[in-house]
Amino acid sequence: MTGIRSNLPRILLGGLALFALIQLVPYGRAHANPAPTKSAVLASPKAREIFANACADCHSYKTKWPWYTNVAPVSWLVTHDVNGGRNALNLSTWDKAQVGVDDVAEKIKSGEMPPLQYKISPNHAKARLSDQQKAILIASMRQLYASDPPAGIKQGEGG
């Protein structure tokens, strides 16, 4: 215990230096919201509201980038999640292949989406969906896929 206590100033200074150093890593700073190529619109106003609160940051080009998304290592995690979400399902690129609607429905119903790291953030309290909200969102996604299907379903993904 004495060793830790006597080295505490060095440990804190080292931690601060490491934190400052990782700010130089460029990954996670490009917060681009490209122009949509073809936007899909959920028919229900309630579903659009739920999607905006719980899904749009990662599944569209309407991502909100709070100040802390400029601070590593949080910036790395958020960028990774946004890129992964946009690659799977992106309502701003509906003219490109998307994950299948059954997979979307299962991820929402199981609570896998939105992911835990998103739901626990105080800034995303509205992303904690009730069973009723999940049902509204799933029904609206099914309606969207039926009335305005995406350009295709990604190979190897649910449909």
| pLDDT (tens digit per residue) in 12-54 | 888 888 888 888 887 777 888 999 999 999 999 999 999 999 9
Query: CB count, 10 Å around CB of 85?
Result: 21
pTM over 0.75: yes
pLDDT score at 1? 58
